[in-house]
Amino acid sequence: MSAPRIVVTGIGWVTPLGTGIDEVWNQLLASASGMAPITRFDASTFPTTFAAEVRNYNVDHFVANPSAHANAGLNSAYALGAAVQAWRCAGFDKSPPRNMRRVGLYLGAGEGVLDSAHFFETNISSWDTSSQRCDGRRWIQAALQKLSAKCEVEQEPNMPLAHIAHELGIKGPSSNCLTACAASTQALGEAFSILRRGDTDVMMAGGTHTMIHPLGVTGFNRLTALSTFKGDPTKASRPFSIDRDGFVMGEGSGMIVLETLDHALARGANILGEVVGYGSSADAFRITDIQPDGRGAAAAMTQALSQAEIDPHALRGDGRAPIDYISAHGTGTKENDSIETTAVKRVFGEQAPRIPMSSIKGMMGHLIAAAGAVEFITCILAIRDGMLPPTINYDRPDPELDLDYVPNVARKTPVDVCLSNSFGFGGQNDTVIVRRFEK
């Protein structure tokens, strides 16, 4: 018996460029940027003073009973907004699934490490920005005075799951993975696998994260992963450019409703795409470095292509490359962009230069655990509209990176098959492939 086909019927996101599906998509196609000076805390003495913050967001606009989520941290608040959008997009707000035990959740939700940056804002005397050290005893004393028990619970990474399940009535399998920047792509892939096993009929999958607080910014500064650009913040993220110097911290959430084709057809759902492949691998290399020859990333892509029954070296009948678009991890760090390019060449060989590949992180920053889900949504919309989002700030090409990065301006082109990559600290590599749905 063949595995069931798995389709996409709902999408939703909360991003630094807004919350509406088409609102954000239109900004991506217009090469807009969500980068600006940090407002959550005084970052004036930090090496990086800018980020891509979610602005003017109120979770109460998305939920039926705001008091039920009164203690939600930002991770949970963003997840709720994206999940409710995706649920509505799938049509489940008007006609929910009959058996909610057959509806599951799988998220890549980042650790809730004190996303309540007001601790630092209201107790800044405990934070020595000149040396980037914190007086732990004073900080803990301040935290104990400020925190309630419910706020402590909100730091647990599974809390977004709990809030979504409560809001939507989801009662099936509920899981969360913490695989850094690959988390929400892994969540999508694992949700896809759960559906193919027949354990559920519907899965809500995606990710949520925020690390725009002193601990998050300091940590990535010390890892030399964040851009320290000194000019216009909108120019700071420069994926694949020779002068790239790191990523810009973003935040937000992306959620996707997946379901078996039979379930979707039986209820007359609007099908947005079909997930056809998932690959996952580990570099087994250094904790913070990618395997230099790209073998781990290539293994994830190869596994996904094999599952999708796509030959990476063969042209399709109409002469097109085997994939129409790669949504790159494309962080803008020296190592990532170079190694991802190497991995794509390793997998696709002579076809690699024919495949457009762009990174939206130049526009909305790196959403860490939520990045993969948001980038997957751009693949769905690229298929819908036949448009590819650009890699902005691509003004100084790196001669060693010679693929088609869709520079600066969105591109109109036929799009039927997309591949989305996510790579995380620790050597986690995940790839998902989605194609236009055809009966």
Q: pLDDT for 210-235, tens place per residue? A: 999 888 999 999 999 999 999 999 99
Average pLDDT over residues 104-119: 69
- The residues that are catalytic are 181, 329, 366
In this prediction, residue 2 carries a pLDDT of 84
Matching fold, domains 6-266 and 276-435? yes
Q: Is the pLDDT of residue 125 over 60?
A: no
In this prediction, residue 119 carries a pLDDT of 43
Average pLDDT over residues 349-369: 97
In this prediction, residue 423 carries a pLDDT of 96
Beta pairing class for 6-14 and 252-260: antiparallel
Over residues 237-296, the pLDDT tens digits come to: 999 999 999 999 999 999 999 999 999 999 999 999 999 999 999 999 887 777 889 999
The CA-based diameter of the chain, rounded to the nearest angstrom, is: 67
**Local confidence band at 150 (pLDDT 50, 70, 90 cut-offs):** low
6-266: CATH topology? Peroxisomal Thiolase; Chain A, domain 1 (3.40.47)
Over residues 306-323, the pLDDT tens digits come to: 999 999 999 998 999 999
Q: Is the pLDDT of residue 120 over 70?
A: no
What's the helix, strand, coil split of the chain in %, to 5?
35, 20, 45
Determine the number of helices (DSSP H) and then strands (DSSP E) in the chain: 13, 16
Where do the domains of the chain lie? 6-266, 276-435
Which residues, 6 or more positions from 296, have their beta carbon under 8 angstroms from its beta carbon?
281, 282, 283, 284, 285, 290, 423, 427, 429
Locate 240 and state its tokens: 């694949």
**Local confidence band at 425 (pLDDT 50, 70, 90 cut-offs):** confident
In this prediction, residue 134 carries a pLDDT of 47
**Mean pLDDT score of the chain, rounded to an integer?**
91
User: Considering the chain, what percentage of its residues have pLDDT values greater than 70?
Assistant: 90
In this prediction, residue 210 carries a pLDDT of 92
User: Which of these, 105, 281, 96, 275, lies nearest to 196 by C-alpha position?
Assistant: 275
In this prediction, residue 400 carries a pLDDT of 95
CA distance 264 to 28: 29
Locate 191 and state its tokens: 């949700």
Q: Do residues 315 and 321 make contact, with C-beta atoms less than 8 angstroms apart? A: yes
Angle value at C-alpha 233, between 330 and 134, nearest 5 degrees: 90
CA distance 42 to 153: 26
- Residue 418 is given by DSSP the state E
CATH of 276-435, one of 3.40.47.10, 3.40.50.300, 3.30.200.20, 1.10.150.120: 3.40.47.10
